[in-house]
Amino acid sequence: MLRRRKSRRRGRRYGVVAAALGLAVVLAVAGWATMHAGSSGPTPVPSTAGVPMATIAGGSPTASPTGGPSPTPAVTATPVFATPAPSYPLVDSCNPKSVRSAIPVTAPASEKAGSFTLHVPILMYHRIVPSAEAGDSIPGLVVPPDTFAAQLDAIKQAGWHTITMATLANDLQAHVRPPDKTFVITIDDGWDDGYTYALPILQSHGFVATYFVIAGRIDQAGFLTSGHLQALVAAGEEIGDHTMDHVDLAEQPAAKLPYEIDAAAARIAQVTGRWPESFAYPSGVVDNRVAAAVAACGELRIAVTEEPVAPEAPGATEPPTGVPVALETWADRFVVPRVRITPNTKPAYLESDLRLLAAG
């Protein structure tokens, strides 16, 4: 119910489909504000198979210690040995020592000199599942697997390749310019179709994604299990923090924020064996207080919002467009808007929008 209410609100805010694929994504870097600008799927259904960008100011390349394009290991079954998420103790801390079994986040040296700008489109998906299996999810958030595959087909055929949010953070921090036609795919909310439907499609295209998981729903019916998450990590996908309960953080008392942000990160670390370094604000809602709470989690290095708010004109037939706004600036960390992809996002238009976004 909560999801439905929030989604309706989002629907009003962003309205039309292919929401603003005409956005430029911006990034705030190290003190620099740039502006500028659920349900259960059945078994895996292999088939065939993201947009903001980041803007930063220039430096020298450094190797990216985290993330990065990864191989495409076969993921065919859910491990049965995974410890269920609820079995782990609640850890209300982002100190890596609080979950010693998990690999802490490492980051490349920060390159702060000069001016460095990246335009890397970031696509935002929610569910990749046949409509008939989507339950009461908002239709605009449900992309059927064949549509997802067609969208990725168009992007792949045009020569694009993916990196994860973590790798984008590395590139931004070290001032590494990724190859042309680099983009990011994100999948929010942790529905189990991210494993059953999305993963095989991603793999058949040689793409990786960042999955923003709601930690409190891990192992719940319809959502990714601990075993799924471990398999996703083994496959080279990134698991990011999307809070514990997917609440509107701006409405939460200060005392609740560490639970929603830090405990969620720790829970993901317990389950996957890796501390998450990317964060997605539920429903894109963020204010200064919330941003500070997220920034206080030392492991989180990059956060994503949704599309910039662009009022939908009455009777408009085109998606709202506009320039995204950098909502905050973290020291050595980054905030990036994304572009929502819907079932109505036409593959050919999507690819051309990627080109526009990448061109800045």
Binding site for Zn ion (CB under 5 A): 188-189
CA gap 20, 136 in Å, rounded: 25
Please identify, using beta-carbon distances, which residue of 8 and 355 lies nearer to Zn ion: 8
Report H helices in the chain: 2-14, 145-157, 165-174, 193, 199-205, 226-234, 257-258, 264-272, 288-295, 347-359
- Collect all residues with Cβ–Cβ distance below 8 Å to 43 and sequence separation of at least 6: 196
Nearer Cβ to Zn ion (188/238):
188
> Whose CB is nearest to Zn ion?
188
| Beta partners for residue 103, in sequence order | 274
Q: What angle do CA 130, 135, 138 make, to 5 degrees?
A: 85
> Residue 246 CB, nearest distance to Zn ion (Å)?
6
The CB-of-250 to Zn ion minimum distance in angstroms stands at 14
161's enclosing H/E stretch is strand 161-162
Identity of the residue, 189 or 351, whose beta carbon is nearer to Zn ion in the bound complex: 189
Closer residue to Zn ion, CB minimum distance, 118 or 286:
286
CB of 236 to Zn ion, least distance (A): 23
Nearer to Zn ion, 182 or 186 (CB): 186
Query: What does the buried/exposed string (b/e) look like for 125-157 if buried means 16 or more CB atoms within 10 Å of the residue's CB?
Result: bbbbbbeebbeebbebbbbbbebbbbbbbbbbe
Instruction: Read off the amino acid at residue 69.
Output: P
| Least distance (Å) between residue 304 CB and Zn ion | 11
Q: Return the number of the residue (304 or 350) whose C-beta is nearest Zn ion.
A: 304
- What is the smallest separation between the CB atom of 125 and Zn ion, expressed in angstroms? 11
Describe the crossing of helices 226-234 and 264-272 by its angle, rounded to 10 degrees: 70
**Residue 23 to residue 308: CA distance in whole angstroms:** 8
Q: Which residue is it, tokens 């960042």? A: 210
Instruction: Indicate the residue among 15 and 298 with the shorter CB distance to Zn ion.
Output: 15
CB of 163 to Zn ion, least distance (A): 21
Q: What minimum distance in Å lies between the beta carbon of 212 and Zn ion?
A: 7
Q: How far apart are CA 155 and CA 350, in angstroms?
A: 8
Determine contact, residues 94/297, Cβ cutoff 8 Å.
Answer: yes
